Amino acid sequence: MKNTAVTFKQAKEKGEKLTMLTAYDYSTAKLVDEAGIHSILVGDSLGMVCLGYEDTLPVTMEDMLHHTKAVARGAKNTLVIADMPFMSYQTSVYDAVVNAGRLIKEGHAQAVKLEGGKEVCPQIEAIVRASIPVCAHIGLTPQSIHAFGGFKVQGKGEEAARRLLKEAKAVEEAGAFAVVLECVPEALASLITRQVSIPTIGIGAGAGCDGQVLVYQDMLGMYADFAPKFVKVFANVGEEMRKGFAAYKKEVEEGTFPSKEHTFRMDESILEKLY
């Protein structure tokens, strides 16, 4: 059954945990979908893990559309959420609606995600009014790293914790169907989860959230440039890839690959006529 923004809300009501992973291409999306993960986030993290940027700021709408289209072709039951890149919604409510619309219409996502609290509520309201489900994202919002002064845990002090709680309520009020909580102390994330009616999806926010999200290259040991404390490597695919690439190099250099098994044949009599 296709997961939707509505099934997300129902999961919270039933107390069922939600799973979300990032994906950026067709074949990974298919594997995530087949594993029964509820949602794929085509995150702007693609700027770092796929495109090799230092942060997510250079990611463009065209990058997001390109990858969202590929993911949508591979996702059957999984809800596809496309991230709105830096400066695609901060500039105006109008830009936010137009760009969210493109991610749905051209990218074939079923929902969008944007970062921020109270300051982006007018954007959330307008996008939701256009019938596009919005997932909010508060706490450590990577598009604001220059304002934060780096990748830091958010909401540790009393004032910051109160602000985060208010932001969660504000994005709920604005109509978001879910909210990502990134790098937030576990106790605060649990409190927010109890105080809002929409599902909270944690990343570095502890087990008290309604669901979890991870960047797939992180949880498969495929991206070593930056290793946050909250990442668990569930399968060391990165190491398997390294072994596979080295084995391929060795066999090609030794002449053992390709063998007969991987080679096409032709009638010898035809070949003789070519000499």
Which residues of this protein are in contact with ligand KIV, per CB under 6 A?
22, 41, 43-45, 83, 137, 180, 182, 203, 213, 215
Cβ proximity to ligand KIV: between 229 and 260 the closer is 229
Cβ proximity to ligand KIV: between 141 and 190 the closer is 141
Q: Cβ 29 to ligand KIV, closest distance in Å?
A: 14
Considering 62, 158, 182, 186, which one is annotated as catalytic?
Answer: 182
Residue closest to ligand KIV, measured at CB: 43
In degrees and rounded to multiples of 5, residue 54 shows phi and psi of: -75, -25
Q: What distance lies between CA 136 and its chain's CA centroid?
A: 13
Give the whole-angstrom CA distance, residue 132 versus residue 151. Answer: 30
Give the whole-angstrom CA distance, residue 45 versus residue 54. Answer: 10
Angle at 84 between CA 78 and CA 90, to 5 degrees: 150
Clarify whether 119 is annotated catalytic.
no
Cβ proximity to ligand KIV: between 227 and 246 the closer is 227
> With contact defined as beta carbons under 8 Å apart, do 114 and 123 qualify?
yes
Cβ proximity to ligand KIV: between 171 and 255 the closer is 171
Give the whole-angstrom CA distance, residue 192 versus residue 178. Answer: 12
Q: Cβ 143 to ligand KIV, closest distance in Å?
A: 9
| Other beta carbons less than 10 A from residue 162's beta carbon | 12
Q: Cβ 139 to ligand KIV, closest distance in Å?
A: 10
Q: Cβ 47 to ligand KIV, closest distance in Å?
A: 8
Which of the residues are catalytic? Answer: 182
